[in-house]
């Protein structure tokens, strides 16, 4: 038998043609390389190199075993990576709207998940668009609204919307009491980058030709504009109801109500880290509901 570690010295000399160059590549002393190569040859009673003035040249024996030695070295590298991978936490990437990520981070739920699953670390994937689970851009998603065929999951809460304005706005301009009065007030809505959102479709239908005081590309932008008092906005109750400067004018708006779902791609659903998060959400559904629904 021999020391497997000696193989890396044999391969380094074979690749670089001298013990000096091999030593530089391995960041060790030249004498260390020479000693390990000599020990390997002595242990196996084989001669792998010819020592020439211009450097080290593989013998026929060395050439015969070189391919097998490279395979062993590659297998050892794969084993080292496997040991490294199992020793570090598994990453679970969760995508959700930014306001929900903020509320989750403040709720204590993430700490409970990590406490129950110390081998898994949850990371947020935040974007202004729907992150594509089928392309592996995230592992799981919390979403309201329509879904696509290759995603599977479960309903965890309702996404409820109502109409809000700031207290200052109501004092100065009054408040719409119903959907029919919305066209008489400056509105806050999404810009063209979010034109397909159900809020944009609803406003186009119930308030065609209305004047818009502010357009944004995110729900947080709508909240900020409403708090600034520039107009009237339909907002998720979970966000609007938590703002003391905002007044709920009417709602819920049934046409804007959707289900919050926890989703994963069907090919990823049985992965241990994904299953662990689904099980955790099922057990914490009561605590999750006010975060999502308000």
Query: In sequence order, what are the beta bridge partners of 154?
Result: 262
Q: How far is CA 123 from CA 17, 36, 154, 172, in A?
A: 47, 45, 21, 44
Spatial CA neighbour of 92 closest among 138, 155, 136, 134: 138
* Side-by-side strand order, sheet with 140-144: 120-125, 90-95, 140-144, 258-265, 151-159
Cβ(8)–Cβ(40) under 8 Å?
no
Q: Which positions ≥6 away from 116 have C-beta within 8 Å?
A: 280
Q: Which positions ≥6 away from 260 have C-beta within 8 Å?
A: 142, 143, 144, 155, 156, 157, 158, 159, 292, 293
Mean pLDDT by 10 residues, the chain (294 residues): 83 93 92 92 92 91 92 83 66 92 94 94 86 89 82 94 98 95 96 87 94 94 96 96 96 94 92 95 95 92
Q: Which pLDDT score, from 0 to 100, does residue 3 have?
A: 80
Query: In sequence order, what are the beta bridge partners of 159?
Result: 258
3-state per-residue secondary structure call for 167-194: HHHHHHHCCCCCHHHHHHCCEEEECHHH
Cβ(142)–Cβ(125) under 8 Å?
no
Query: Quick one: how far is CA 267 from the chain centroid?
Result: 17
Cβ(65)–Cβ(71) under 8 Å?
no
Is the torsion defined by CA of 240, 202, 130, 251 positive or negative? positive
Paired tokens of 277: 């998060």
Q: pLDDT tens across 270-282, in order?
A: 899 999 999 999 9
At 93, phi and psi to the nearest 5? Answer: -100, 120
Paired tokens of 193: 């980058």
Q: Which helix (H) or strand (E) holds 62?
A: helix 60-87
Q: Cα(186)–Cα(184) distance, rounded to whole angstroms? A: 7
Query: In sequence order, what are the beta bridge partners of 152?
Result: 264
Report the Cα–Cα distance between both ends of the chain, in Å, rounded. Answer: 68
pTM over the 0.85 mark: no
Provide the b/e sequence for 195-204 (b: ≥16 CB within 10 Å). Answer: eeebbbebbe
At 21, phi and psi to the nearest 5? Answer: -65, -40
Q: Which positions ≥6 away from 176 have C-beta within 8 Å?
A: 163, 182, 184, 185, 232, 249, 250
């Amino acid at each position: 038998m021999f020391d497997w570690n000696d193989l890396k010295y044999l391969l380094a000399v074979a690749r670089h043609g001298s013990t000096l160059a091999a030593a530089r590549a391995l960041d060790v002393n030249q004498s260390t390389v020479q000693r390990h190569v000599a020990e390997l040859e002595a242990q196996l009673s084989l001669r792998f190199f010819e020592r020439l003035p211009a450097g080290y040249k593989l013998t026929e024996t060395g050439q015969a075993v070189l391919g097998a030695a490279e395979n062993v070295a590659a297998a050892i590298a794969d084993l080292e990576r496997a040991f490294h991978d199992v020793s570090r936490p598994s990453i679970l990437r969760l995508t959700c709207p930014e306001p929900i990520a903020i509320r989750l981070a403040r709720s204590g739920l993430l700490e409970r998940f990590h406490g129950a699953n110390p081998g898994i670390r949850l990371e947020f994937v935040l974007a202004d668009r729907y992150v594509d689970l089928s392309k592996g851009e995230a592992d799981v998603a919390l979403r309201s609204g329509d879904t696509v065929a290759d995603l599977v999951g479960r309903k965890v809460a309702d996404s409820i919307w109502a109409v809000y304005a700031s207290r200052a706005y109501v004092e100065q301009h009054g408040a719409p009491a119903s959907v029919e009065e919305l066209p008489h007030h400056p509105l806050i809505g999404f810009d063209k980058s979010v034109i397909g959102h159900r809020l944009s479709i609803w406003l186009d239908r119930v308030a065609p030709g209305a004047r818009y005081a502010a357009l944004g590309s995110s729900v947080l932008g709508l909240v900020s504009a409403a708090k600034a008092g520039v107009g009237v906005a339909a907002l998720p109750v979970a966000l609007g109801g938590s703002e003391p400067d905002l007044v709920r004018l009417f709602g819920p708006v049934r046409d804007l109500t959707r289900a919050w779902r926890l989703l994963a791609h069907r090919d990823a659903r049985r992965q241990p880290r994904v299953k662990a998060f689904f099980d955790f959400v099922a057990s914490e559904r009561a605590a999750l509901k006010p975060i999502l629904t308000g």
